[in-house]
Amino acid sequence: MCDLPDFKTVEERHAYFVENAPYFTVTCRFRGMAYHSDQQTLEKARECAGYVVKLTGRSVLIYGVICMYDELIETLIPPTNPG
């Protein structure tokens, strides 16, 4: 079983997950299907998420995962085309 510290603020929890998560999950929905890719570092997750945004044109979420707990780390939103 994995116990997390008692966080006083949301920012404290977020920082803990960024620094201590053993892996990060990149996820998005595209054409009714969920896409997930686990990456070992936040940098690799950001790189993967960038590719997914370019390929799908959809928003992508990056979660830090520790045991059964997760925390939303970042959301990548595709650029909008000025019209």
* Rounded Cα gap, residues 63 and 68, in angstroms: 12
pLDDT tens track, the chain, 83 positions: 688 999 999 999 999 999 999 999 999 998 889 999 999 999 999 999 999 999 999 999 999 999 999 999 999 999 886 55
* Rounded Cα gap, residues 57 and 55, in angstroms: 6
Residue 3 amino acid letter: D
pLDDT of residue 79: 85
pLDDT of residue 66: 95
DSSP H/E element including 61? strand 60-66
pLDDT of residue 82: 56
Residue 44, classed as helix, strand or coil, is: helix
Domain range annotation of the chain: 10-76
pLDDT of residue 71: 96
DSSP letter, residue 78: P
pLDDT of residue 83: 53
DSSP letter, residue 2: -
